[in-house]
Structure formats: structure tokens, C-alpha cells
Structure 1
């Protein structure tokens, strides 16, 4: 008999239509070391083709071990049709049960894997872009950390951000897209916006390019429209909204270009440290309050320091990998008006 004949005989047996002679033939085939095992391997491969290889082999080994045990515990008795039937049925049930169990375990393992958090960690001087499971795109700035997974579900899309990132959200009216920082939550449906929330900086900011977002803290909630920006003061808890001329300038970092909009030297230094992966210290605390507006673009750190020194009483010195900044007292009088 061909393999297909045995398979048809197996189906006939499960329908209780096989004769005692046919059952005897089937039993001999089931007991054989080669034919039945080959058929079971083939069926398992088809049923579990998407399964992890290690998990697949482990479960298959359990099936073979269980069948071997059934053979030892239920020896055949000649001309006992009922005994033969029960023995074979037990083997069939073992195959079906473990096969279904294997698939269930696999699905459960896959679900658990989906539930695990994914962490995108970007070092200083680096950037990264990520496509989320829903198709949304994220550009993560240097010295930043993006966490998603366990709360990125069929009902809502929640991410955690430490640092700065730009989001282009895939529209999904049934699943709000929420970016959480330590102090703020930015909620969107289908839009593009930038969130900046570094631990060492005093403010958290959100700028909206397209669509609409809701920014909420423990004390306030504001709606942002395109070309609007919210700045949250971590110390006071105050959140302020303002209009900007061109929101896209706030994501120039995505294209390796630096843009500063009335930023304090203290914040600018934090940005330069992350961007160039270097260490900068202030010798003069008063220098931190000066502000600068401009777009140095994609240039060297030395060039940016020269630009700052031309527009403020800043002087600097490079010692090995350390940059020291101090206030030039002789030039200070010319720049007093620059402070706000």
C-alpha cells in the first residue's frame, strides 16, 4: 500500500468505518518506525510552518515521546477490536491534542513577544528612524530613548520618550496616538509633531507641523494647531502656547542642521554636547542666560562657537576633549541688551 492509502485508512478509522482487518493493517503501520513517523513529521511541518524552529522541534519531540509511552502502556491483544480501537484512538488524540497545544503555545509565545517593550536608544552624536507596527514613522534625536510595545495595542498607541523625537503618525481614528514624557502627554490621531524632553533641560516643548494634538499635564490641557508650540516649565508646572513662523525649522535636526530660536546658551550647550558627543562646561554662570537665534546649519563645532563668540561676550578654550566657556568682561557691556 502507498502512503496515501494508509492516510485514507486512518481517516476511515476515525469515522468508525474500518473493518477489523483494516484496523490491523493500520496498527502495523502506526507501529512501524519509518512510515508513520515520516507522515507525522510532514503533517507537523505543514501545520507549524510559521513556528519558531526550536519550539517546533521541542513540541514534536513531546508528541513522539507520548506516543511511545502509549505503545508501552497499551500492548495489543490479538482479535480484540475494542482494545485496538481504543489504543489507536488514544494515539490519534495525543497527536491532535499536542498539535493544537503546540499551536496554542506558539501563539501565546508570539503574543507575549508582541507585548514586550521595544527600546530604541540613541547615543550622543547619533540619530535613528523607526517605523512603528502601525506604519507611523519616528525620527529619534541623539541622546534619546523611545519605548513602545506593551501599551501599543489594538485600542491605543502609547509610547514613552526621553529626549527628542519627530513623529509622523499613521491615521487611525479608533486608536489615539499618545507620546508620554515624565511631565506631559501629547495625544494625536493622524498628524506630525516634534517633542523635546531632555532630563537636563528645564523645559519640555512640543511643536505641531500638521493635524491637531492635545497636550496635557497634571494641571492643564491645551490644543495645538499647525505652527503652534507649547513650552512646559518643569519647575513651575506652567504650560504656555505660542505661534511660530515655520514649525518645520524645529525639526532641522532631522536633516543634520542646527536651528536655535531664542535659546539660552545653557540649552544650546546641551544640544551641542549631544550633537557632537563632547563635553562643554561654563566657567561663568552668567553666560548661561544669554540667548541666540539663528541657523548655523550643518557645520563644525568650532564654527558654531565662533558664531556665538561674535554675537555675545563668549570666549572659549579647547583642552583635549573638554571645551571651557567664560564671559569676556571687556565685551560684556556691548551685549547687556541681548539678555531677556
Structure 2
């Protein structure tokens, strides 16, 4: 017998301590030996009560009722704890996996096909957006960007036609890739400018911070801060330059126009996008001139007056049209 009969007798006579009573009740409810002992005791007491109800050697009705209530309560508590532990053992891992799955799903497109969104910034406007990973993007006028609603589990990829400045949130496990025509720029956490208008002859990437890799076809070109990559889409030539002030290239995001020895043809393209106007070159020889100018974005007429001070080229503004002549 696992539990001493003296302890059982003290419990029955209500002279036992709380610990002893708890031990006996647990033994009665959780062991085969205890349950058999309790059954024998009840059978014996039932016989004694039938033989001599006044003998005083059996449980009183009050004692029997109290003992049964205590045993029944301990059995129910023990069963509840067992069920709770079993349910927790099953539910906790499931809830953890569901929570992890929801987090991954909210941050990536791991559990579904990639759904893309597209944003176009018309001429005369610019914009600033944030992706779900915290990456900040400035979009210049006449720019289109295509991006997934949720980045992939391994990569963060966007598609650009136009000009954009990227402040990429660091994530060493998920490179950020900017695709532009048949080129790509891959970074981990970097600040850089990409000029890749489909109608332009060149694609230019200027790196302000961090490291990046410019790829065209099968060739990769690593870049360091302060460098500019220029890829000629017609000739296939790729050139690397060191810039003294690389941040000047992205001054457009601060509403500053920046030209440095820029041919008039490129100046015209930039101004057309910024002001949503059309230039008409009436004197082709005017395209031989280049311009160097840094200025806060002005009214169009004020800007044209500034350009006229740099070279002997005249600009006549009428409606949405600008006529260029010598």
C-alpha cells in the first residue's frame, strides 16, 4: 500500500493536515491501488452500517458527504489540468506557426503568386513613396515604376522606366534589385539614383552610399560611393566615372534643377518633363550648345531667361510650346 493506513485514518477522522489530506485524495483518484482501497472501505462501511447503525465505527453521513465531495473535486481538477496540458501541447505550436505564417505572408509573397502594382508620375509632377520593407523612393516626372504588393522571400525586385532615387532599407538576406530595360542594379542597403528613361540613349546609375552591382547582360560592374555608371544602349558600351559631388545628380528630388555641361538636347528633355511643355527647335545649330546651371525650380519663363544668359539661343514661350532659335 503506497499510502500509510494511519494517514488515511487521520484523514477519515479529520485530524490530518492539509498536505496529508491532499496526498490521500490524490492517491484515491490517480492510482488503481488507491481506487481499490477506497472501494473496499466503502463496501466495508456499508456492511457495518447495515449491521449496526449505532456502532459508531462507520462514516457518519456528514463525513461521507464531505469525503466524496473532496475526492470528486480533486478528480475533476486533475482531469482539467491534464486536458489543459494536452490542448496547450497541440495549440501552442499551431498558434506559433500560424503567427509566423501570417508575419511572413504580410512581408512577402511566399504563400501566393506575385501580384504587381504600377505607378506612373506624369510630366510636371514628382512623388515620394515607401515600400513595405521601409525602402524610400523618390520618383521624377514622367516615371513609371512596377513593384510587387509583397516582396519575395529571397529578393525585392522593382521595374523602372524613368528616374528614381532609392534609399533602400538594409536586408542582407533579401537583395533589392532595380530592373531597367535589359539592365539591373542590385543592392543590400544603399542610396543611389537611377536615370533610365526608355527614350534616352543611356542609362545612368550614381551611387551615394553603400555598395552596388550594375549588371547588363552577363557582365557585372561593382560600384563604390561617388561613382557613376553610364551604359549606352545603342553601342553597348559601359563607362565608370568618379564624381566630385555625386549628390548633385539627384538634386531634382529637392526641386533643384542641375545641369553640368549638359547638351541642349538633354536640357530640353528635362524641362519638358518638369514643366509638361513641348519644345520646337527651329534652328538646329542651337543644339551645339551645352549648359551648366544649378537653380531652385523656377517658373518656366524665368528658367528660359536664365538659359538665354548662358548661350546665344532664344526661347519663345507660347501656351504649352517653346520655340528654340538662334
Query: TM-score, structure 2 length as denominator?
Result: 0.64
Number of the residue aligned with 1:324? 323
Hey, what's the Cα distance between the residues in 2 that align with 1:318 and 1:133? 43
What SS does structure 1 have at the residue aligned with 2:302? helix
Number of the residue aligned with 1:229? 228
Residues 210-266 of structure 1 show CA distances to partners (whole Å, capped at 9, x for unaligned) of: 001111112632111111111111111111111111111111111111111222111
Q: CA deviation at 1:199?
A: 2.0
Hey, what's the Cα distance between the residues in 1 that align with 2:128 and 2:113? 20
Hey, what's the Cα distance between the residues in 1 that align with 2:185 and 2:178? 5
Decide whether the 8 Å contact of 2:115 with 2:150 is kept in 1. no
Decide whether the 8 Å contact of 2:196 with 2:202 is kept in 1. yes
Hey, what's the Cα distance between the residues in 1 that align with 2:218 and 2:268? 30
Hey, what's the Cα distance between the residues in 1 that align with 2:290 and 2:230? 16
Hey, what's the Cα distance between the residues in 2 that align with 1:286 and 1:206? 30
Residues 272-307 of structure 1 show CA distances to partners (whole Å, capped at 9, x for unaligned) of: 011111111212223224211220222122222222
Q: CA deviation at 1:114?
A: 7.4
What SS does structure 2 have at the residue aligned with 1:152? coil
Number of the residue aligned with 1:292? 291
Number of the residue aligned with 2:237? 238
Number of the residue aligned with 2:128? 129
Number of the residue aligned with 1:202? 201
What value does the CA root-mean-square deviation take over the aligned residues?
Answer: 2.2
Number of the residue aligned with 1:273? 272
Residues 303-332 of structure 1 show CA distances to partners (whole Å, capped at 9, x for unaligned) of: 222222222121122233211112x2xxxx
Decide whether the 8 Å contact of 1:309 with 1:315 is kept in 2. yes
Q: Which has the larger radius of gyration?
A: 2
Q: 1:180 to 1:210 in 2, by over 3 A?
A: same
Q: Aligned pair 1:143/2:142, yes or no?
A: yes
**Unmatched tracts of structure 2, length 5 or more:** 1-97
Decide whether the 8 Å contact of 2:206 with 2:249 is kept in 1. yes
Number of the residue aligned with 2:114? 115
Decide whether the 8 Å contact of 2:276 with 2:320 is kept in 1. no
**Unmatched tracts of structure 1, length 5 or more:** 1-102, 329-340
Q: CA deviation at 1:113?
A: 7.7
Query: TM-score, structure 1 length as denominator?
Result: 0.61
Q: 1:149 to 1:296 in 2, by over 3 A?
A: same
What SS does structure 1 have at the residue aligned with 2:280? strand
Q: CA deviation at 1:134?
A: 1.2
Decide whether the 8 Å contact of 1:114 with 1:149 is kept in 2. no
Number of the residue aligned with 1:25? none
